[in-house]
Each structure stands twice: as structure tokens, then as C-alpha cells.
Amino acid sequence: IDADGQILGRLAAKIADIVRGKNTPVFTPHLDTGAFVVVINAEKVRLTGKKETEKKYMFYSGWRGGEHYKTVAEIRAKKPEWLILHAVRGMLPKNRLGRSLLTKVKVYRGPKHPHQAQKPEPIKIES
């Protein structure tokens, strides 16, 4: 999936559906029936409104006073893949199955990825 110009939430919902296998006729809620998903151009994903500057993600170190807040722009500069993985993780089940499904999502910064040998099929997402 090419994330260039895609809205983050809509992209994450589509990825979560594919990874869970909801787009296949053999979908079973408690089984892993989905496919692997490779996302490229993670740094070009879009957010609507003023989320780029005003939305803040909270990180907690576990220590007293260890709360840190980062804006989307700060995260995008250092690790744009995290934005997509974090959004997809929120749309998967919160159990052992969800954790194993998240390992099937591979997100890359640029247009290149190391999975050409698996012959991935491009998926178009309507904006």
C-alpha cells in the first residue's frame, strides 16, 4: 500500500481489515486469516485539520515526572513509521491475537522495501 497522500485514519482502518482477514470469505474472529501488508512512503501520510501541529502523543517513561508529549510533526521528523503502526494497533484486538497480527504490518519510510521477492500486489485505496 502506498501511503502517499492518504489520510492516516482511513489508511489504518484499511490495513487493519486486511491484516485481520475481514476482506476474505473465510474470516473467523478468533483466527489469523489475514495477509501481510507492506506500507511504503510512510512519511507522506496526511492528517486532516490542525492535527499536524496541535495533536500530541503522550509517552511515559515509568518514572515520576516522566511524561513527555510530542507533536505529529516531531514524530514524523524522527520516525514516521510509528504513526501508522500506532494507528493500526489501536484498530486491532487488544489481546494475544492483536499483538501477533501487528507483526504482519511492515511500514517503510521511502518507496523501497526488502520484500520484492514475495511479489507483493499493490492495493489502491480511494481517498
Please state the domain extents for the chain: 8-46+79-115
Query: What does pTM read for this prediction?
Result: 0.92
Find out if CATH 3.10.180.10 is the number for domain 8-46+79-115.
no
What is the signed CA dihedral for 7, 15, 91, 88, rounded to 10 degrees?
A: -70
Given pLDDT bands bounded at 50, 70 and 90, which one contains residue 60? very high
- Which residue's entry shows cell 475481514? 22
Cell of 32: 489469523
* Phi, psi of 40, rounded to the nearest 5 degrees: -115, 165
- The widest CA-to-CA distance across the chain, in whole angstroms, is 49
Cell of 118: 514475495
What is the rounded distance in angstroms from the CA atom of residue 94 to the CA atom of residue 110? Answer: 29
* pLDDT per residue as tens digits for the range 6-33: 999 999 999 999 999 999 999 999 999 9
pLDDT of residue 125: 86
CB 7 within 8 Å of CB 44: no
The DSSP symbol for 46 reads B
What is the rounded distance in angstroms from the CA atom of residue 35 to the CA atom of residue 29? Answer: 14
